[in-house]
Structure 1
């Protein structure tokens, strides 16, 4: 029987013992053939000239960017980083920004939301933007976790919003069923393929699989070692701590689904990248043991600020430890594209399909999100990286 006792994430108590025990469990997963991936190169392929400032803000911390085919960009400025005002913006090609998909969806923030969660999720402003993705069909899905501050109770029930970028309109709101959550659940990140959404639980490690047509939410791999905070989040200055000295811990919050929907990758910020065959979620004959063993360690990643997947299955992620952008092909070939001191806690990147990657140096560790006083070095800068045109050399 799985352990259902509630846990607090971002614990203000030292997490060393829990991290050590779970790290040992995770190490056991690395003993099989899946551990034979190539090492990340130490030298960058690109020089600093490939990374150029694209836009800046003196009052918002963006943690995700999603370029659209028409030249616009969706920017996420979540409440948990201390942002006030809109949590979703649209940037037009001329540089203008506006709340998106409309002002009404960005009028109420966590401080003004109800004190108790509600299941009435339709046509209510976004409480806590916690992930966005674009499907192959062109629509966008936004996760509203309902938790604007991770150390405080939810302000609303979590939901998924489908947005038509052509009309700038929310066309569907899909509530996450309460029985798929646990005390302490904080959903973060979303990946969508056709009629299925995959959502990690960064508060109590698990994967939620949501049928977007029926609204049925199912919970899998509850507290699996690959989905829990097994390692400290490493910054250039060392492990990330709360002001009182306790290690910051966050369970799985980064996820992507393959273009054909056959697998997902997922990881906690301080964990390793794992790959999971999505077929297991609908296999009525799979045993509990086989289910647990179906999680494959895919790469020993550093601490990440975000990841995104390209149309060919190549992953791009931001390394917060070294200030790097790296990529990883489906053939398991890693590339260190660039390392640059300007990339201070780079977060979830976006691809424009025209040879560019966009990423914000979000300075998350200076935002005050982990309990300390904010010490941001404004402005926050969104950078454009011109990707290499040469294939991997391995």
Structure 2
């Protein structure tokens, strides 16, 4: 069981706002009306970029996954002032290729984050072992951005990340890491003090992609594998509320759910009891990237529309920015300067997401944009201090 409760009590307002915004979108071949904040181009890249992270002093890092057709990438890099990329942390870390060892190498980085200090966290999905295999090299990494030193490497036991599991996104509070498993559908919680990890809601519908909700991309075309089946992306983006009390999450194709973080961390609570605490939040569409700010506004990078929308705590939904340059925006990031960074990997245009004999329709180069947040929206959300002081800079 789970609770179907709207985000506050404003679903009708949100639905109306969404309908007006959708009316500005085109059918295939028609012009798209630009709406909202103006886009500012930040960087151009020769590789797919699906994640960005920025230090307090303004250094910008990018996550460059080794997706099919773009395997020859340094995986993580710093964007320098002149627009060039400097591999991070450098050396053999950035030179992995099939057949090489995984120990001191970045294999397939799926996300990068810098939270409230100088360290960079990365989720490495490892080598793809297929839907029934265990990915070699799959782990969570923490680096010091000042010297590239590895501070932490976390590998999960098969009981927490079984065969077919794929770590996707990551968030922190003061003592825990929270991740989604987009391969099988589940939430993973790691106690950063003790190293104890938990697999949660693995059998709950909130972490599963509903086959009736297809992973729609540009102009209504579903993402499909080479055999013509829909691309399966289970639990994908996630966010922690500013007070640290709620974890928001969803399968790529929606909808959005939330669950109390204290219940997730409770090792004595059964998954059945935990499932009863899951709440329906909003009927989102296909979403690849999210962010949350200090006021509790949730930002959604929509996969089937070239835009970013904002769901306010009162349940109202509005379009922050809509532009034909934003097809398939991914992991969003809010800076201390109240700017929202938007990487655009064009995932629905990649050949391997376009079904049998799929051909790429990518518009090169790949780009990262940013928009200035309006004054009515909150500031950047820091890592919530739920229990004690933040541990993100600690070495284990």
Give the TM-score normalised by structure 1.
Answer: 0.82
When residues 235 and 321 of structure 1 are mapped into structure 2, their CA distance, relative to the original with a 3 A threshold, is same
Q: 1:169 Cα deviation (Å)? A: 2.3
Corresponding residue of 1:102: 90
Match of 2:111 among 123, 131, 137: 131
Corresponding residue of 1:67: 54
Corresponding residue of 1:384: 370
When residues 352 and 311 of structure 1 are mapped into structure 2, their CA distance, relative to the original with a 3 A threshold, is same
Corresponding residue of 1:368: 351
What is the aligned residue count?
Answer: 356
Corresponding residue of 2:216: 234
- In the alignment, the residues of structure 2 paired with residue 315 and residue 272 of structure 1 have an alpha-carbon distance, to the nearest angstrom, of 14
- In the alignment, the residues of structure 1 paired with residue 5 and residue 248 of structure 2 have an alpha-carbon distance, to the nearest angstrom, of 18
Match of 2:184 among 188, 204, 212: 204
- In the alignment, the residues of structure 2 paired with residue 149 and residue 284 of structure 1 have an alpha-carbon distance, to the nearest angstrom, of 30
Q: 1:228 Cα deviation (Å)? A: 0.6
Match of 1:87 among 64, 68, 75: 75
**Contact 1:34–1:296 under 8 Å retained in 2:** no
Greater Cα shift, 352-361 or 150-159: 150-159
When residues 273 and 48 of structure 1 are mapped into structure 2, their CA distance, relative to the original with a 3 A threshold, is closer
Corresponding residue of 1:346: 329
Q: Which runs of 5+ in 2 are unaligned?
A: 25-32, 379-396
When residues 375 and 288 of structure 1 are mapped into structure 2, their CA distance, relative to the original with a 3 A threshold, is closer
Q: 1:186 Cα deviation (Å)? A: 1.2
Q: Is 1:279 the equivalent of 2:295?
A: no
**Contact 1:135–1:194 under 8 Å retained in 2:** no
Q: 1:251 Cα deviation (Å)? A: 0.3
When residues 247 and 382 of structure 1 are mapped into structure 2, their CA distance, relative to the original with a 3 A threshold, is same
Q: 1:174 Cα deviation (Å)? A: 1.6
Q: Is 1:264 the equivalent of 2:247?
A: yes
Q: 1:166 Cα deviation (Å)? A: 2.7
Corresponding residue of 2:303: 320
Q: 1:148 Cα deviation (Å)? A: 4.5
**Contact 1:317–1:348 under 8 Å retained in 2:** no
Aligned runs of 1:123-162 on 2, under 5 Å? 123-148=103-128, 153-162=133-142
- In the alignment, the residues of structure 2 paired with residue 317 and residue 306 of structure 1 have an alpha-carbon distance, to the nearest angstrom, of 6
**Contact 1:201–1:253 under 8 Å retained in 2:** yes
Q: Which runs of 5+ in 1 are unaligned?
A: 1-27, 115-120
- In the alignment, the residues of structure 1 paired with residue 34 and residue 279 of structure 2 have an alpha-carbon distance, to the nearest angstrom, of 31
Corresponding residue of 1:179: 159
**Contact 1:224–1:292 under 8 Å retained in 2:** yes
Secondary structure of the equivalent of 1:179?
coil
- In the alignment, the residues of structure 1 paired with residue 35 and residue 6 of structure 2 have an alpha-carbon distance, to the nearest angstrom, of 34
Greater Cα shift, 48-57 or 347-356: 48-57
- In the alignment, the residues of structure 1 paired with residue 215 and residue 41 of structure 2 have an alpha-carbon distance, to the nearest angstrom, of 26
Corresponding residue of 2:39: 51
When residues 218 and 351 of structure 1 are mapped into structure 2, their CA distance, relative to the original with a 3 A threshold, is same
- In the alignment, the residues of structure 2 paired with residue 31 and residue 313 of structure 1 have an alpha-carbon distance, to the nearest angstrom, of 20
**Contact 1:201–1:251 under 8 Å retained in 2:** yes
Secondary structure of the equivalent of 1:104?
helix
Secondary structure of the equivalent of 1:89?
strand
When residues 201 and 358 of structure 1 are mapped into structure 2, their CA distance, relative to the original with a 3 A threshold, is same
When residues 360 and 81 of structure 1 are mapped into structure 2, their CA distance, relative to the original with a 3 A threshold, is farther
Q: 1:325 Cα deviation (Å)? A: 0.7
When residues 283 and 355 of structure 1 are mapped into structure 2, their CA distance, relative to the original with a 3 A threshold, is closer
Corresponding residue of 1:8: none
**Contact 2:110–2:125 under 8 Å retained in 1:** yes
- In the alignment, the residues of structure 1 paired with residue 94 and residue 128 of structure 2 have an alpha-carbon distance, to the nearest angstrom, of 13
- In the alignment, the residues of structure 1 paired with residue 240 and residue 154 of structure 2 have an alpha-carbon distance, to the nearest angstrom, of 19
- In the alignment, the residues of structure 2 paired with residue 286 and residue 384 of structure 1 have an alpha-carbon distance, to the nearest angstrom, of 41
Q: 1:365 Cα deviation (Å)? A: 1.6
**Contact 2:241–2:292 under 8 Å retained in 1:** yes
Secondary structure of the equivalent of 1:365?
helix
When residues 323 and 382 of structure 1 are mapped into structure 2, their CA distance, relative to the original with a 3 A threshold, is same
Secondary structure of the equivalent of 1:342?
helix
Q: 1:248 Cα deviation (Å)? A: 1.8
When residues 294 and 49 of structure 1 are mapped into structure 2, their CA distance, relative to the original with a 3 A threshold, is closer
Please provide the CA RMSD for this pair.
2.7
